[in-house]
Amino acid sequence: MTTRSTLSRHLWFWSAAALVLVWLLMAAAAWSTGRHEAREITDGKLISVARLLLEPQDQQSLDTPDNQAVHRRDYAIELAVLRWEGGQLIEDTHGIAAALGLQAPPTPGLSSVTVDPAHGTGQLRMYVAAAPGNRHVAVLVDMEDRHRLNQELGRHVLLPVLVLLPLVMLALWWAVRRGLRPLGQLSDQVQSLDTAAGQRLDPSHRYQEFASTVNAINGMVDALQAQAQRERAFASDIAHELRTPLASIALGARAARETPSAELLDRLEHDALRAGRILQQLLDLARAQRDQATALTAMTDVCEVASSVIEAHVQLAYERGQELALQAPEQAVHLPVPRTLLELALRNLIDNAIRHTPTGTQIRVDVDHTGENTQVAVSDDGRRESGTAVPDSEGLGLGLRLVDRLARHMGARLEQGGAQAPMTTRYALVWPAASDTPP
């Protein structure tokens, strides 16, 4: 079995590559800057010591205009030296002992001293060392020279960093773009899918992290295909149901022109009403789905809805010599379903039972609420004298298709069968226990 690589490893690889590149650039810059600073500090130290050891007139010859460009270094700091032997000042290279008031040797160590205002202004940094025999040496440097050295060091260190910053950002951008390229490729594959043709993504994707995404997209494509198949089947049913009454209307109208009769007119009225019922069912479904999309979630009393739908069909059942009954628990049964959808589903089931069973049929609506599920069933005992059930006709198939779609919208399923004597036909809307909500 082929082991797929992971996207996190892919991203880590390209990020690590960018970091290595940045590190190499920074290392090269640090190496170059270190060599430059070491050279400048060493040369500055040589020049400073040379100036210190020369007599003043020799220093002037060293710093003539012709030699300044050759011997000048940013790190060449002017040093001053004071020496004491036996407590007596024997050397003052820059004549600053009086300005500092240093006739006696100061305490050994590092310290900062200020020039006496009578001889000028400024601060110096001093280091004093003592040796056996009451010998002392003091080395001093002007603080302004030290500040200038700090500025030079900062400029030489920061300048390479500022130059490398755009290169670092460019390297990181390249690494991120390269690391996310598989995600862009997946997006292109999804965009190029032809869901109408049922195209799916290759489940064996290169990266493991995309497995759940690919499976989800393929599941969505399968769901769209199933939905499209149901829509095509539903449209075919509608076309089939409408074709029969419309063709009959056309033939009846032609015959009525030639030999008009009351029987032909009754047939035309029957076919027109049949086509009208089919269209009314479609309009009711569209309205119910629209109301479901805009309505807030609310609890619906199933028993109350069943009672109101039966009441609306009492007159029709009486005219056909049929009996309607309701069996429901005394306690209200509530479900989180849109009332409009539930009314439309029950109306279609009861209407089918009334129109497609013979005179004298008993039709019963049962509402059953148990711990396992909630059921609303429509049963009848409609049988002919021969004992065969009344065949589905005049839109019964379309009506059941419509109820099945409504059941799915309400989170239920449409079940057929399971009638108990004396009932022979039973259709039930069943909600699983997870959808039940107590009143």
Q: Which residue has the higher pLDDT, 238 or 373?
A: 373
For the ranges 16-25, 48-57, 89-98, 192-201, the one whose mean pLDDT is highest? 89-98
Output the pTM of the full model. 0.47
Residue range 390-417: average pLDDT?
Answer: 73
What's the CATH code, domain 296-439? 3.30.565.10
Residue 297: band (very low, low, confident or very high) from pLDDT cuts 50, 70, 90: low
Q: Is 371 exposed, middle or buried (0-12, 13-18, 19+ CB in 10 A)?
A: exposed
Cα 439 to chain centroid, rounded: 38
CA separation, residue 181 to residues 4, 10, 154, 167, 172 (Å) = 17, 10, 40, 21, 14
Task: Examine the pLDDT at 26 and tell me if it is beyond 50.
Answer: yes
CA–CA distance, 168 with 161 (Å, rounded to integer): 10
Q: What integer pLDDT is reported at residue 362 of this predicted model? A: 92
Q: What is the mean pLDDT of the chain?
A: 76
pLDDT tens digits for 312-356?
A: 898 988 888 999 999 999 888 898 888 888 888 898 899 888 888
Q: What is the DSSP letter of 24?
A: H
Which pLDDT value is given to residue 55?
52
Structure token pair of residue 234: 């539903």
Tell me what the mean pLDDT of segment 205-227 comes to: 79
- 43-52, 62-71, 183-192: range with lowest mean pLDDT: 62-71
pLDDT digits (tens, 9 = 90+) for 359-379: 889 999 999 988 778 999 999
Whether residue 66 contacts residue 53, with contact meaning beta carbons closer than 8 Å, is answered with no
Amino acid identity of residue 66, one-letter, is D
pLDDT value at residue 121: 63
Tell me, what's the pLDDT at 46? Answer: 60
Measured at the CA of 12, the angle between CA 8 and CA 162, to 5 degrees, comes to 140
More confident residue, 87 or 278: 87
Q: Are 398 and 410 in contact (CB under 8 A)?
A: no
252, 271 in Cβ contact below 8 A?
yes
pLDDT of residue 325: 92
Mean local confidence (pLDDT), 286-295:
62
pLDDT tens for 124-148 read 888 888 888 888 888 888 888 777 7
pLDDT at residue number 1? 44
Residue 59 has pLDDT above 60, yes or no: no
- Taking residues 161-170, report their average pLDDT: 75
Only one residue has tokens 């021969």, namely 386
Residue 381 forms beta bridges with which residues?
none
The pLDDT, as a whole number, for residue 293 is 54
Long-range contact set of residues 30-37: C-beta below 8 Å, sequence gap at least 24: 30/160, 32/160, 33/156, 33/157, 33/160, 36/156, 37/153, 37/156
Amino acid at 230: R
CATH class assigned to 212-294: mainly alpha
Sign of CA dihedral 27, 32, 35, 36: negative
- Taking only the tens place, the pLDDT of each residue in 105-123 is 888 888 888 887 655 567 8
Beta-carbon contacts of 213 under 8 Å, excluding residues fewer than 6 positions away, are: 186
Q: Are 274 and 394 in contact (CB under 8 A)?
A: yes
Statement: residue 304 has pLDDT above 90: yes
- Could you write out the DSSP letters of every residue in 69-111? HHH--TT---EEEEEEETTEEEEETTS-HHHHT-SS---SEEE
Q: Where are the domains of the chain?
A: 212-294, 296-439
The predicted pLDDT at position 406 comes to 83
Q: Phi first, then psi: what are they for 287, rounded to 5°?
A: -65, -40
How many whole angstroms separate alpha carbon 30 and alpha carbon 20?
15
Q: Are residues 21 and 171 in contact, defined by beta-carbon separation less than 8 angstroms? A: yes
Longest dimension (CA), the chain: 154
Decide which of 111 and 383 is more confident: 111
